[in-house]
Chain A
Amino acid sequence: MGQPTKMTASKQKFVGRSVARLEDRPLLLGQGRFAADISFPGQWHMRVVRSPVAHGKLLGIDASAALALPGVHAVWTYKDVAHIPPIPFRLTGLVELEPYRQFILANDTVRYVGEPVAVIFATDQYIAEDAAEMVELNIETLPPILDASGDTGPFDAERATEPSIIRKSFGDVDSAFKAAHDVVSLELSVGRHSGVPMETRGAIARYDEARDILEMHGAAKVPWWNRDHIAQMIGRTRTNMHLLEGHVGGGFGIRGEIYPEDVLVCAAALVFKKPIKWIEDRREHLISANHSRQQQHRIRAAIDADGHILAIDDEFFHDNGAYMRTHAATVPDLAAAMLPGPYRVPAYRAVGHIRLTNKTPCGTYRAPGRYESTFIRERLMDAIAAKVGVDGVEIRRRNLIAKAEMPYDLHLDTLGTHIVYDSGDYALLLDKTLALAGWPELQASLKKRRAAGELLGAGVAMFVEKSGLGPSDTVRVDIMSDGKVEVVTGVASIGQGVETAMAQIAADALGVDYASINVVHGQTDRIDTGAGAFASRVTVMCGEATRLASVKLRDKALKLAAELMQTDAASLDIVNGEIVRTGRIGSSMTLAELAQAWPGELTATDTFLSSHMVYPYGVHVCAVKVDADTGAVAIERYAIGYDVGKAVNPRLVESQIAGGFAQGLGGALLEEFVYDENGEPLSVTFADYLMPTSREVPPVSILVTEDAPSPLNPMGLKGAGEGGTNPVGAAIASAIDDALQQPGAITDLPISPQRLKALCQKN
């Protein structure tokens, strides 16, 4: 027991402060542990032999030359893994999509360039690549299907090009259109692009015969679900298999799903009893990791004379590539469900055609479905404004859902939840963001400079995001014998600052310094269940579970301390890691002393359940200058307002928004997976797939507001992961239209300078 304390520092609070990240030290010192950093003695390297053609009959594979190469241990083809079922669906797994799942190696048909057809196991990566070149593939080329919006028909012998249609609707759409004062119709498209993390994928599997444990390193995002399902695929159980996450160089939705390579390393480690290491190279990444976003929409709105929306009717074509991967129908489902956005839409109908093409299969990418449908909806709002003859800000104001209408039932479902906007003051955030952008001064200055011949314009885009997907998260909090606190979670860190945010929440609930807390994530051997990191869910779900478990542990600690300190728990408090008496007079004890007095007792576990998502919302304002000679776009001003209910760490929220913005910008102006007429991918290096660099990303003004805390969790939290990305294409398109003084000129993303130059010619 400590000395009597006369004065203790006042209780520090961490939630709501931009405290420094706890994650950074190893990263800044070059001590990170990324997938490629993990090696085991005696490991074999795996190299994937991939289809060089977009569509063909795989008639035979001759690996004899590869097998004869010194250092090559084995070559697998489909027959070696024929007993392993296809990769299952994790989300929105419609039954009719099941025949379209991907097997880990192609059997008798190849359906995209990059599809795994064989794997080499060799002593090192060099030999593995030498051997991969020696594998002879006998493929009878078939014509590829590359357009997702044409007539439906057979995709190949057993499959159709349109495996399913997403339908969502409410209200009487047809009557609304009949009664409408006017109708606005648009055809729009979003290009194929995706999250491209700087760290490519990697998986290292090791079987420990002594303990009968199979472990896979290089996990990310959803290790528990992947553990359960990889185990099932290869005939193990969730108890004798573990997935372990190290540092992750970017996730963005695409990384950490089950891919063929993850299953292959695990199956091979079991068969060969050797550690198996696979590290993806950049070309492989660009043709084999999930693509996303490619959709074409035909949308129309029924409006009254003032531009109020009476109904929206959207039909779209979702190009999912050659297979349905783990996300199944998630992206088109979200596109359809989130399209109405922040506006009052009395009647709505969306018909989304899920189409197959001979391209890399697709999955979710940061703001999945919403980047697409926000572009569509906001283009529609600009078109309505032009039709009615008011500006883009005014038309949005007229249609926004009012604060008084919250909670607002959208009458639509997605991800197994009913969509009810939990809280929001959309008009207030519009005002604040326009003020942040200096909208009136901006308009005045644009007008003046336009008169001097410059092509300048400004635009606004608004959106509602979703976050905090349940159904549950469980957290265990322990006070260790040295007084340090460990928070064991079932989430993953993909760089977003999980450790810091969870430590801040636990610190406040417990009364300790956030820097004394170790947050464990992504380790299936440390906690039995975990939902992982996706859908902007971590801070909301795991944050509340952390708070619940920490409060429980504090109560327990005070009760146990009360016995030792011969008082009642109500007269004790924990301040800066020390148990003190209320009023701060008399003896105190440290958490270490308490933990040593009650070995194994200072632990608490709690679970947060949630059946509804929570809905942050935002406004982006953009001003651009178009170079009439080259079609280049320079972003002169960019302002983002985003309401997250409650920011646990405002700087982390701002960082999420800034990074997300760069990705939204890439999809708007630069990034596109292009294919030639044979289905050959043309964007296979960073010279062809144009990621924005620091030179292309302008400074962004970011305003994080807390005007609409969520009523669905006690801290009022909403997720922050996707609001930087969601409306960037929409905002830039709107600004470019304005610069060209051609309403509706931008119909497709990405906006290439060649296309823009052609539009400038019209001026």
Chain B
Amino acid sequence: MKPAPFVRHVPRTLDEALGLLSQLAGQEGRILAGGQSLVPIMAFRLAKPAHLIDINEVAGLDRLESDGKALSIGARVRHGAFHKLAVDNPLGALLTFVARHIAHYPIRMRGTFCGSLAHADPASEWCLTAATLDATMVAKSSRGTREIAARDFFEGIMSTALAEDELLAEVRLPLLAPDAKFGFNEFSRRAGDFAMASSLVTYRIVGGKMTDTRVGVGGAEAAPRRITEAEATLNGQTPNDAAFREAARVASDALDPLEDHQTNAEYRRDLVRAVVRRALENSLP
């Protein structure tokens, strides 16, 4: 459980970090932020990066602020930063609620929001959040800056649209409407484990009817995504048990479920049905 040899670089500025990344990406160079996924993988020698570009000293990447439209989350912002409200908007409460489900306390104090997205584990709570809320990813390299929509960002299991010389420098989450409601639920065999299925929902109620509904599902497919079929069944409905059950059924039917030795396709669909319905139930005051 000792990693293979590597060189650790500690840039102090973003330009310096991007320069190192462009120089070393082709020589098995990787970004190190919180290290909560990368370091264990290195200990198992499943990953043997020759260079680690440690961004923990890079100035400015710890930005966590709202411009009134979106919450910007810099590459050094840790999960634990969301233990308290990051913004005075329902989004802040949503992030606090979701953050409590990420692994265990020590991991939340080291792991980063952007690192979780760049790692793109299908079960990641933050990947689900970014997909459901249509986050914008800000990718930087020495070639420049580009913005990537969440739906274009997650390409598969631990696979994203980031080029090898790009750093996910920031993620922007749009603020929710002031009257927005949200609900989240996940299932795992033990508290803190990777979710076997998870769901995040947001919506508003206008004239007693659900509107602007988003239903995201994670942990069930190669990447988390919004299930528009389920959203469509809910928009225009009063929030009620029958509508929630129907949406959950539709969401579960719309999936191409991942299978593994403890989860066959049928059971994965069962779990999705449960977490979507429970996320909707949790959303009620």
Contacts and interface: CB of A to CB of B under 8 A. Distances in A.
Interface of A: 125-126, 129-130, 133, 281-283, 627, 629-632, 670, 674, 676, 682, 685, 687, 690, 692-693, 695-696, 752-754, 757-758
B45 A125 contact: no
Given A126-B2, A674-B261, A693 B189 contact: no
Given A693-B191, A693-B192, A753-B189, A125 B2 contact: yes
Nearest to B189: A690
Interface in B261-285: 261-264, 267, 270-271, 273-274, 277-278
A129 B261 contact: no
Contacts of B59: none
A696 B261 contact: no
A696 to B, nearest CB: 6
Given A126-B5, A133-B45, A682-B261, A630 B191 contact: no
Given A693-B191, A754-B264, A130 B274 contact: no
B193 A630 contact: no
Contacts of B47: none
Contact of A632 (B187, B192, B261): B187
B194 interface: yes
A129 B192 contact: no
Given A129-B4, A283-B1, A757-B270, 8 more contacts: A125-B2, A133-B45, A281-B1, A629-B270, A629-B277, A630-B270, A687-B193, A692-B190
A757 B261 contact: no
Nearest to B248: A629
Contacts of A631: 267, 270
Contacts of A130: 4-5
Contacts of A690: 189-190, 193
Q: Which 6 A-B pairs have the closest CB atoms?
A: A695-B191, A629-B274, A281-B1, A754-B267, A126-B2, A129-B2
A455 to B, nearest CB: 14
A130 B6 CA distance: 12
Contacts of A629: 270, 273-274, 277-278
Interface residues of B, number: 25
A107 to B, nearest CB: 27
B190 A693 contact: yes
A754 B262 contact: yes
Contacts of B5: 126, 130
A670 B273 CA distance: 23
A677 to B, nearest CB: 11
B269 to A, nearest CB: 11
A679 B189 CA distance: 24
Interface in B1-53: 1-5, 44-45
8 contacts: A129-B2, A629-B270, A631-B267, A682-B261, A687-B193, A690-B189, A693-B190, A696-B191
Contacts of B270: 629-631, 757
Contact of B190 (A281, A674, A685, A695): A695
Contacts of B193: 687, 690
The interface centre, meaning the residue of B2, B192, B273 with most chain A CB atoms within 10 A of its CB, is B2
Contacts of A630: 187, 270-271, 274
Contacts of B44: 283, 685
Nearest to A133: B45
A627 B261 CA distance: 21
B194 A282 contact: no
Nearest to A691: B190
Contacts of A685: 44
A690 B278 CA distance: 25
A502 B262 CA distance: 46
The interface centre, meaning the residue of A283, A631, A695, A753 with most chain B CB atoms within 10 A of its CB, is A753
Contacts of B3: 126
B190 A696 contact: yes
- A interface majority secondary structure: loop
A283 B189 CA distance: 21
Nearest to B274: A629
Contacts of A627: 274
Nearest to B270: A757
A752 B190 CA distance: 12
A670 B190 contact: yes
A687 B262 CA distance: 13
B65 to A, nearest CB: 34
A282 B1 contact: yes
A39 to B, nearest CB: 16
A695 B192 contact: yes
Given A630-B187, A670-B190, A752 B1 contact: no
Nearest to A282: B1
Contacts of A281: 1
Nearest to B278: A629
A177 to B, nearest CB: 39
The interface centre, meaning the residue of A281, A627, A630, A631 with most chain B CB atoms within 10 A of its CB, is A630
A126 B3 CA distance: 7
A448 to B, nearest CB: 23
Contacts of B278: 629
A201 B45 CA distance: 21
Given A130-B5, A676-B261, A752-B262, A757 B267 contact: yes
Interface string B187-209: 10111111000000000000000
Given A629-B270, A630-B270, A676-B261, A687 B194 contact: yes
Interface string B232-271: 0000000000000000000000000000011110010011
A578 B277 CA distance: 72
Contacts of B264: 754
B105 to A, nearest CB: 12
Contacts of A126: 2-3, 5
Nearest to A695: B191
B75 to A, nearest CB: 25
A693 B5 CA distance: 33
Contacts of B271: 630
A756 to B, nearest CB: 10
Nearest to B40: A685
A628 to B, nearest CB: 9
The interface centre, meaning the residue of A629, A696, A752 with most chain B CB atoms within 10 A of its CB, is A629
Nearest to A755: B267
Nearest to A694: B191
A126 B1 CA distance: 9
A283 B44 CA distance: 8
A129 B45 contact: yes
Nearest to A627: B274
A125 B5 CA distance: 12
Contacts of A754: 262-264, 267
B46 to A, nearest CB: 11
Contacts of A693: 190-192
B240 to A, nearest CB: 18
The interface centre, meaning the residue of B263, B271, B277 with most chain A CB atoms within 10 A of its CB, is B271
A440 to B, nearest CB: 33
A757 B271 CA distance: 10
Contacts of A125: 2
Contacts of B2: 125-126, 129
A282 B1 CA distance: 8
Interface string B174-189: 0000000000000101
A758 B269 CA distance: 12
B119 to A, nearest CB: 14
Contacts of A674: 261-262
Nearest to A669: B189
A692 B192 CA distance: 11
B71 to A, nearest CB: 30
A119 to B, nearest CB: 16
